[in-house]
Amino acid sequence: MTPTAATAARATGRRVGRAGRAGGATAVGMVLALVRRDLGDPRQFRLPLLLDVAFGVVNLVVFLFISRVLTPATGTDLTRSPSYFDFVAVGITFLLVLQAASTQLTGRVIREQRSGTLELLAAQPVPVSALAIGTAGYPFLFVLLRSGVYLAILATVLGLRTEHADWWGVTVVLVAGSAAMMGVGIGLAAFTIAVGHGDGAARLVVVGLSFVSGTYFPVSELPGPLPEVTAVLPSRIALDGLRAALTGGHWAGSAAALLVATALLLPSASWAFGRALRVAARRGTLKRD
């Protein structure tokens, strides 16, 4: 690192540290500014939404036909879902949130690093928590819209059973689950900034969480103590809550657990994000080629 680059890195590190002491109004303004920046470009919103919906519908149709060929064994616990398709359709819908919290957010951070935008944002006198949540804001707002579109298509076109659905419960659980997963995503973003290779770690998180949380098959089929161990995962809690809300079951406990998870994950992930920024600033790696 050249002396000039080293001086700039130390200055960025000091500004990152001072950002944590900025006021609440500045923090909210930073979050809103970052979200508006992304929403201001319709090209980032319209075409991706259409392509994602098209891909998602094809994926759901594939599982619709699979569910007509394969029948779960007698006694399989589908978490109140009336059929395997109803079960897996909810899993695929929440998989969007998992992807937003992992591959999409880390990919976004990598692009910000390469363009130099992250280094500029880190130098601003705002709390790092605002920078972290603002960076994650657009992907999660986008994924909430996509999930709503998926559920509408499932209910009106593909035959998802919703006659007993509590849509208020579906909305609350989906938003609370997304907030909890945002904490996971910001933690992955911190890893990406400090260490690199966040794209590989993100893919691993998607595969792992979708496997043990009940996305494609009931968690009761997992071996050994895994069904009990995975009961604390926000992704599993959200899936159980969504399936309960869609079938008229009790979802309030899942929503409360997700709010507790959010209260624990978001502050700790924001702290890790700030720590990663300081480490990267000292190393001069806030901007990567």
CA distance 170 to 167: 5
Q: 3-class DSSP state for residue 281?
A: helix
Q: What CA–CA distances, in Å, run from 115 to 16, 37, 39, 51?
A: 19, 15, 19, 25
- Taken in order 100, 104, 106, 108, the sign of the CA dihedral is negative
Provide the residue-wise pLDDT of the chain in tens; the chain has 289 residues: 444 344 444 444 444 444 444 445 566 766 766 667 666 665 555 666 677 778 778 888 888 888 888 777 766 777 778 888 999 999 999 988 888 888 888 888 888 888 888 888 787 777 888 888 888 888 888 888 888 888 999 999 888 899 989 999 999 999 999 999 999 999 999 999 988 877 888 889 999 999 999 999 889 888 989 999 999 999 999 999 999 999 999 999 999 999 999 999 999 999 999 999 988 888 887 877 6
> What is the Cα–Cα distance from 42 to 23, expressed in whole angstroms?
31
Sign of the CA dihedral running 199, 200, 202, 206:
positive
